Amino acid sequence: MLPTVKLSRRGATRLKDGHVWVYRSDISANGIPPGALVSVTDDRGKPLGTALYSSSSQIAVRMLSTASVKDLTALIRERIVAAITYRERIVENTDAYRIVFSEADFLPGLIVDRYRDMLSLQILTQGMDADPVRNAIITQLDETLKPAAIVERVDARVRELEQLPPRASGLLKGEQSSTTFSMNGVRFQFAALEGQKTGAFLDQRENYAAAARFARGEALDVFCYQGGFALHLAANCARVTGVDSSRPALEVADQNAALNGRDIEWIEANAFDLLKDYSSSGRQYDTIVLDPPAFAKSKANLETALRGYKELNLRALKMLRPGGILVTCSCSYHVGERDFFEIVGSAARDAHRPVRLLEKRGAAKDHPVLLGVPETDYLKCLVLSVS
Ligand code: SAH
């Protein structure tokens, strides 16, 4: 018999509406061990399914199934295979993509990315961190994909929040710690154990190709990281400049450019300062990409975040030549698609530059959006034509 978590009426309604999380304020649970598999019931004791429990997170319950689960590790192994099969059907033009995207693959708390012959794994919850579960994950990935190496990427803050003992990032299988991969025919390095964030922003992969389709002339990739957009733009642009505040990211960007035989200028700078200087000195571009980090990490800093997006977009719009292309992104879940449209629209009015929408895009298909779980729908990417 599994321990039982009873939900408040509000908690149960959340599940009935399609979500898979229940917050601590909506449950009653006593003495349940961290990370346990639990039965979930509504306030009258009616069974709602099976979940993984966290004793420390505000998200206390993450649903696994509306049925009862007898063998947790078997279920996890089955779902990993299903996630891999799904990618085989939907992913193209790359050997780097997300294999498991947590809730969106019915494996809450687990993220797995593939970089050609290597896998990078992240464990985000007590439930997924339990030894039998970890072992099942690693064994199944290894059996199905036979990677040269599996690395674990640890976010110390996540472990602290989940009250899990500290752990270092490192190899779980094999000895190889770097490789090269390709997206849309463009090549990149992957060094698993170095850098600020190891790996690429795979969720932008299809947006790189879309941006490249419309890009031309002189291009500026702002918040370029390791050059994802810049390297794609280079195929169709006469000159490309990438800007980022992180020197290590730009060093990798430069290696990536060499790998592709591209000549790109990389500038280490604060994007806000650089855009201010460049726009006031009258610099002009034909294509600008804005892909800042998530400014709104929570609802609390939404106002500041919106101001940040507005400023960036306003300056970029002013610098575009007539007929220019603006590719503008937001990966803040708290800034919804409507909010983002409004911000970019108001920047366009202030800049006196009518803007037409060419494409409204989200994350690549290997980062599925699960209907009912709005948090899985976080990335917005607008491709705009600026008159
Ligand atoms: N476009 C990239 C991803 C960008 S992630 C890609 O497709 O791969 C956000 C980047 O913004 C990070 O590389 C980070 O170093 C950089 N960054 C954060 N704050 C910045 C600032 N104020 N000025 C310039 N770069 C910044």
- Residue 225 Cβ contacting ligand 1 at under 6 Å: yes
Decide whether any atom of ligand 1 lies within 6 Å of the 244 Cβ: yes
State whether residue 37 is helix, strand or coil: strand
pLDDT, tens digit (0-9, with 9 covering 90-100), for 273-305: 999 999 999 999 999 999 999 998 888 889 999
Phi and psi at 121, nearest 5°, equal -125, 140
The residues pairing with 170 across neighbouring beta strands, listed in sequence order, are 152
Q: Of residues 224, 237, 329, 331, which has the active-site annotation?
A: 331
Q: pLDDT-derived band of residue 203, with 50, 70 and 90 as boundaries? A: very high
Residue with tokens 């996890």, as numbered in its chain: 76
Alpha carbon of 270 to those of 274, 333, 343: distances in Å? Answer: 6, 23, 21
What six digits make up the tokens of 76? 């996890």
SS3 13: helix
Confidence of residue 351 (pLDDT cuts 50, 70, 90): very high
d(Cα 145, Cα 81) in Å, to the nearest integer?
10
Are the CB atoms for 73 and 27 separated by under 8 Å?
no
Q: Distance, CA 288 to ligand 1 centroid (Å)?
A: 14
201 Cβ below 6 A of ligand 1: yes
Atom number of ligand 1 nearest to Cα 246: 15
Radius of gyration of the chain from Cα atoms? Answer: 22
pLDDT at 377: 96
Question: Which atom of ligand 1 is nearest to 293's Cα?
Answer: 9
Cα-to-centroid distance, 369 and ligand 1 (Å): 24
pLDDT one-digit tens code per residue, 39-86 = 999 999 999 999 999 999 999 999 999 999 999 999 999 999 999 999
pLDDT, position 197: 56
Task: Please choose, from the candidates 264, 313, 266, the residue with its C-alpha nearest in 3D space to the C-alpha of residue 290.
Answer: 313
**Centroid of chain to Cα 227:** 16
What pLDDT digit, counting tens, does each position of 112-128 carry?
A: 999 999 999 999 999 99
**CB of 271 closer than 6 angstroms to any ligand 1 atom:** yes
Question: How far apart, in whole angstroms, are the C-alpha atoms of residue 373 and residue 37?
Answer: 21
- State the closest ligand 1 atom to the C-alpha of 270, by its place in the atom list counted from 1: 23
329 flagged as catalytic: no
For ligand 1, atom 11, which residue shows the shortest CA distance?
223
Which residue has its alpha carbon closest to ligand 1 atom 3? 225
291 lines ligand 1 (CB under 6 A): yes
Torsion of the alpha carbons at 304, 305, 308 and 312, rounded to the nearest 10: -160
Average pLDDT over residues 335-357: 97
Cβ proximity of 254 and 266 under 8 Å? yes
- Lowest-confidence region among 11-15, 85-89, 191-195, 255-259: 191-195
Pocket test for ligand 1, best of 188, 206, 245 (most atoms within 8 A of CB): 245
Tell me, using a 6 A CB cutoff, whether residue 223 lines ligand 1. yes
How far apart CA 264 and CA 79 sit, in angstroms, is 42
Going from the Cα of 194 to the center of ligand 1, the distance in angstroms, rounded, reads: 17
366 pLDDT higher than 90? yes
Any ligand 1 atom below 6 A from CB of 252: no
Helix (H, G, I), strand (E, B) or coil at 198: coil
Tokens of 223: 């918040």
**228 CB less than 6 Å from ligand 1?**
yes
Ligand 1 centroid to Cα of residue 196, in Å, is 11
What is the position in ligand 1's atom list of the atom closest to the CA of 221? 1
d(CA 118, CA 104): 22
Mutate to test the pocket of ligand 1, among 115, 221, 223 (most ligand atoms within 8 A of CB): 223
Amino acid at 63: M
